[in-house]
A and B are shown apart, each in its own frame.
Chain A
């Protein structure tokens, strides 16, 4: 009964490939000991029972053997009894004579002893099973709970890079395998004991036959060796094929709406059938391998018997060999050989249990980079000033996504954050201010407390974060909104929903506030999900609020409703809004402009417009166009697009994690030089294009220029170009020059 099998929900769990352990078996066992030492009495009991049980198992054939020999009790050897029987021509009266009192007594005693011993064996092995079941289930729970707790508090970097399915597999499948391994340990102990006991009894009964039985060992070892060699390969293949089928089916189910809308069910079914068939073919190979195992063992057992009986005939030992002894030898050699086979078949499983343990220990031993200091205090409640002091941060060594960012937000101030994708907006507020990661240089403080000296829990209670990707938990809408404010009442929920205009749509749901959220809210639209997350955060009533594109998924109408409510909602809170909506930005007290990880501009809308810097650019090219103005940029002018840098970094990260794991788990965080080079190469492959788009003129800038050209005389344009040349040190593209002049001409009349 393999617990924990079939734990994985996603395809990832099944695709697991061969895994190389980082720790020696000894280290793993000593680690295991730390868990099982609590149950030292139980284990002691189980071992004692195992010893008793193997003794009983061995004693049983002895008793039957004695029973057969018991025919000797009447001082006539059993064989001469036969002789007599035959000579007397089945003389019944003689036989009756033979059955003297003592024979029957012995017989009855033997049968009773046999019965009692078997019954005792049954009882104690059942007890042992109970003790094991109790211990195993408790320990599994403990390991799981510890592991889960550890993972919950582990580094964001780790959690973000691993797929949630993989982490879950650590918690369910690996611990399950561990439990199986534990069970196996006790089983191994008892099998070993059985082997030893059988062998000892065998040697006592007849050392010659005992030695002959040893002769069967090489063939068992060869068979077991060959079996595990091929089994490992085939099992891996089967698993991989299973993983692929699972992945395909998962995709088919998740993408069912797409398949339906393009009428492609048939093709998907065909593809699955193909993979499914492949899986079958590998499974068949496995069947082919396993078909010989048990038949061979049976054949081997009888082979040994034939050899034994021939040999005993040959050396004419049978005179010393009573019929009972032959029976004993037979049974003992079986109970000696059979556990051998069982043991050899257990090793692959044991190996995978040790592997699982290795992975589990990896997690236990990892030291979180972000942790409370020893004398961590609660966050004070008087001062909500947020200071960023020369903050620099890199997810990857030396690849800074933020450099030297300094500014401070006054209590109750609303700060809008703008900048291009990859400017570091999300990192600064969603990751650093919340202390999901620690800054590399500089510091962030609230009031006069560095956030690193504050208890994480008190910090996070003070900060409310609405993430870009709305995430909901399984449960009702009501429970979801209550998530961050356990003490709030349902009334509070209704109230807050009304205030952000969410109540209308929630009430429109089939079960209203009691509507169940399935699978992260797949039945809800992204907008519906997002507005619930906004309600959730507002109900938690944080002092400091971070809204990371919190309304980007709302439809125009809802967004306008939320917009209308926001002033009131932000009142009294220090608020950071990462936004792309013009109206939000214009409402802000101050605007922070980030560009490539640096704080470039800071001030309110009017101030920044006057500066004619990055913000003014952004405003003129983008924010303005959220309205109805015509867009002048042609598709071909949009420049070359690349893979998203953020995502690429993350991928590299994940890649490194995987590599690190192979070389000794999470301890080995630094990649080798060779890996670094390789990663660098991968990066270099992308970077020239990136540079191209960041250097020179971006489409936004071009658009901005075009926009400005409408209001300028041709002479002004020429002057501007000169100024540009001075600034950038590069010639102005001739085509653009012409274009701008044309625009200027065209708008001449309007001026």
Chain B
């Protein structure tokens, strides 16, 4: 994971509080969407000027067609020189206009496209950075697949709305205005009617697009559901098959697929009978009739028929816009909708707030829970109720309890992934709510139960916690984590890529890579969620050694089921339904806690140990 500074045009750098900044800067989703124009005003301005210019020259070219034809007809009928100087001049003008139009529109398309791709890049980055800073409360309730699709596909949609759709619409607008102007020059009546008709046209078209917008949104959701249903089934195919529930899954899928089909049909129906098109058709016909009349009346003068050709050419040109305008209007609508969805996600009201004046703490002091109660954000049920305990520096703490007893929650609170609903957690008397999350996490490290490794090299994964680690440090950490010999045995050693595109590691190996990673970060407090038991003796032993190394010389809080860890612990905290039901050393709990006794009774031990336990329990009873 080579970290390089990227030269970025607008010099965006990582920002600690990007959410606030963006919310403050753009305020609404609409403004965020249109911010493209504000981010790169000069580029868009140049593109727009070029566009207007090329719209003018192409309209002018169309108009000149009539002139050329008119002159030619006149020359022929008058038996004049066919290539009169008028004729040649007009042709040359036409060529000039064509050339200018070509350069202008190519240039405008390119600049517009390039700028919009920049915009796409920027908002994608913005979106990711804002989302990344949301606390875990956000990630608990949002499907990462959906968020990913927003960051990738929906950002693309927003860009599509800008380029090509908004560009096309703007171009159509210029074409219409310029055409109207040119037509007014020929005939102000047709011109004026045209102008009025197009105002009406745009209003109607916009309403039309607004009707399509929601269907588009629905289709996107439908497609998302479709993928989700399908993906889930293929992930859990063992389960589906073992319960012989294929029919049920297929019905589920068909239901979603049918819904998609219905909405797709609805969209298709809406795009047929696009009746704003009728307006332009009627206008063309009227202009045709009126123009013919005028030619016959001789109102258009010398080049009468030519003028009519010019007018008709311009009108037919406008008619062609009909094919493009609806689709682009819909895209623009869709883009706005997507921007709204993204904005809502970015505008997440985070329950976890960074302190205004962050404080530091002395980590060599006691860590204390003081009447801590906690409910996950958005829920009411307390998963921790009035939990109080204190951990002296350097202590080994073991947390045990059933699922849902709250033991993992305790770890998450110490890491300040969440703040307690009530009560405080403090380090040497300083509440961790008054510390910056980054500061807390640089002193506390957690090794999770479901190990997450990046599809990158082993080295990159280990140094994830300390990017500037020397190879000596890396080696040392790997050795202590009992993973060094394994890595050495791989042909590419530390440069072996793991994950989807590389080597698959077994569960135990992954765990030890994670331990090496945690080792390098050298935390003051170690949180270890180790509630699974290894299935294999070698795996089990390696892990045990690795963990012993990791826990050495620091305060550790371990969720565990290893009896050895329990026995060796300075403090065991036994949790049940969010409350502490037992606290103390192994021997003490054996005497005082019936639940603990029950557990030990059902866990495997050597005959020897069992007898020991039985006697101690018996002695107590």
Contacts and interface: CB of A to CB of B under 8 A. Distances in A.
Contact of B563 (A7, A114, A628): A628
A277 B417 contact: no
Contact of B228 (A8, A246, A474): A474
A644 B18 CA distance: 43
A159 B143 CA distance: 23
B404 A1 contact: no
Contacts of B517: 262
A218 interface: no
Contacts of B244: 456-457, 460-461
Contacts of A635: 482, 541-542, 545
Given A260-B441, A689-B489, 7 more contacts: A67-B292, A71-B296, A141-B260, A148-B257, A295-B102, A323-B73, A583-B602
Contact of B241 (A130, A269, A436, A511): A436
B156 A6 contact: yes
| Smallest CB-CB A-B distances: 8 pairs | A133-B268, A627-B605, A556-B561, A79-B77, A287-B113, A505-B404, A560-B602, A6-B153
A478 B504 CA distance: 35
21 contacts: A1-B330, A64-B312, A78-B305, A79-B74, A125-B272, A129-B268, A138-B261, A140-B261, A145-B250, A152-B240, A160-B237, A168-B231, A262-B465, A287-B117, A290-B109, A316-B82, A327-B69, A460-B241, A460-B244, A510-B379, A519-B143
Interface in B360-393: 375-376, 379-381, 383
Given A133-B268, A309-B72, A261 B441 contact: yes
Contact of A3 (B78, B264, B540): B264
Contact of A291 (B106, B285, B376): B106
Contacts of A685: 491
B422 interface: no
Contacts of B380: 510
A291 B110 contact: yes
Contacts of B567: 628
A182 to B, nearest CB: 12
B235 interface: yes
Given A132-B268, A153-B246, A467-B239, A641 B486 contact: yes
A294 B408 CA distance: 60
A299 B151 CA distance: 39
Interface string B237-259: 11111111110111001100110
Contact of A558 (B140, B289, B402, B505): B402
B405 interface: yes
A454 to B, nearest CB: 12
Determine chain A's interface SS by DSSP, over half rule.
helix
A633 B400 contact: no
Contacts of B417: 257, 260-261
A471 B236 contact: yes
Interface string B109-132: 110011001101100110011011
B618 interface: no
Interface string B179-205: 000000000000000000000000000
Contact of B152 (A68, A246, A259, A306): A246
A14 to B, nearest CB: 8
Contact of B3 (A5, A167, A271): A271
B245 A483 contact: yes
Contacts of B534: 580
Contacts of A134: 265, 268
Contacts of A162: 234
Interface stretch (A26-34, A35-43, A388-396, A617-625): A617-625
B83 interface: yes
Interface stretch (A103-111, A196-204, A405-413, A725-733): A103-111
A293 B322 CA distance: 20
Interface in A583-638: 583, 621-629, 631, 633, 635, 638
B41 interface: no
Contacts of A473: 232, 236, 239
A95 B297 contact: yes
B3 A168 contact: no
B243 A9 contact: no
A331 interface: yes
Given A115-B285, A261-B441, A557-B401, A255 B452 contact: yes
A279 interface: yes
Nearest to B281: A118
A172 B227 contact: yes
B125 A276 contact: yes
Contact of A638 (B304, B531, B538, B603): B538
Given A86-B302, A107-B289, A295 B109 contact: yes
A458 to B, nearest CB: 8
Interface stretch (A222-230, A444-452, A525-533): A525-533
Interface in B424-458: 437-438, 441-442, 444-446, 448-450, 452, 454-455
Which of B136, B245, B540 neighbours the largest number of chain A CB atoms within 10 Å of its CB? B245
Interface string A100-140: 00010001101100110011001001111110111011101
Given A262-B441, A323-B73, A506-B404, A126 B274 contact: yes
B131 A651 contact: no
A704 B83 CA distance: 109
B61 interface: yes
A464 B609 contact: no
B420 to A, nearest CB: 16
Contacts of A108: 289
A82 B297 contact: no
Contacts of B531: 525-527, 553-555
A279 B57 CA distance: 34
Contacts of B603: 556, 559-560, 583, 626-627
A518 B312 contact: no
B65 A330 contact: yes
Interface in B563-603: 563-564, 566-567, 574, 577-578, 595, 598-599, 601-603
B472 interface: no
Interface residues of A, number: 218
Contact of B541 (A250, A627, A638): A638
B538 A133 contact: no
Contacts of B125: 269, 272-273, 276
Contacts of A648: 504
A122 B245 contact: no
A319 interface: yes
A553 B403 CA distance: 11
A581 B293 contact: no
A463 interface: yes
Interface stretch (B4-12, B19-27, B31-39): B4-12
Given A152-B249, A287-B110, A631 B230 contact: no
B432 to A, nearest CB: 14
Interface string B263-295: 011011101111001100110110011001101
Interface in A507-542: 508-511, 518-520, 522-528, 531, 533, 540
A137 B264 contact: yes
Nearest to A502: B403
A524 B505 CA distance: 24
B139 interface: yes
B544 interface: yes
Contact of B532 (A3, A137, A553, A627): A553
Nearest to B306: A323
Nearest to A458: B244
B584 to A, nearest CB: 16
A716 interface: no
A519 B145 contact: yes
A678 to B, nearest CB: 15
Given A460-B244, A553-B531, A471 B536 contact: no
Contacts of B232: 473-474, 520
Nearest to B412: A257
Contacts of A460: 241-244
A724 interface: no
